Structure 1
């Protein structure tokens, strides 16, 4: 079984292009095998949301539809 720590070990995080450059409200993401992980940059050792690739695609599509 894979737990959160195993899934995110040696993960390369990047800051969302939609985060501001004022140093406060940053969302970080990481591509992991078959999924996308999201976390708060102010709490890098805290919780992370992990979306499967289909769930992430559905989430992004839902956000971009008007």
Structure 2
């Protein structure tokens, strides 16, 4: 599945007032991340285990 056809969802901590919005999608065995304000822009993709570690680090900051 290509990121452009993925079912994107907005992170629960994102605001609806045009703030810092991140969207996530499950694409095969990867988690893809993009900026909701630029859906056609760059996408970061990482393996699920790597994403879990990435999220844990962000939560600890």
Q: TM-score range by the shorter chain?
A: 0.7 to 0.9
Bigger CA radius of gyration = 1
Structure 2: tracts of 5 or more residues without a match: none
Match of 1:59 in 2: 54
Higher relative contact order, chain-length normalized (CA < 8 Å, sep 6+):
2
TM-score between the two structures when normalised by the length of structure 1: 0.76
TM-score, normalised to structure 2's length?
0.81
Structure 1 gaps of 5+ residues are 1-5
